[in-house]
Amino acid sequence: MIHIDENTVVVGVDTHKYTHTAVFVDNFGREFASLNFTNTQEHKLVDQINSVSSQGKKVVVALEDTEFFGVHIAKAMMDLNSVHVCHIPSYLSER
């Protein structure tokens, strides 16, 4: 179980076949950054997460992996020690 507190940033990642969107929110659910990237640009997400975690924030990545479109993102997240990755089924995020 992951504890969300004032030092937590949640990154919601919506995956698609060719492009993806990541939205960064604070512990109150307020968006403070967003990022669009392609399948070959997951380094942009990694760089943004590293920037946030370097500020002493705990990062939780909520990855909606529809049709395995986010498998390369999950692989990139495995190299980040300070990141928790949660799989979010698409039926929970369709609203």
10-residue stretch averages of pLDDT, the chain, 95 residues long:
89 93 95 95 95 94 84 87 84 63
Which residues neighbour 17 within 8 Å (Cβ) at sequence distance 6 or greater? 67, 69
Alpha-carbon gap, residue 85 to 29, rounded angstroms:
18
Domain ranges of the chain: 9-14+51-67+78-95
Tell me the pTM: 0.89
Residue pair 22/11 in contact (Cβ under 8 Å)? The answer is yes
Q: Would you state the pLDDT for residue 66?
A: 76
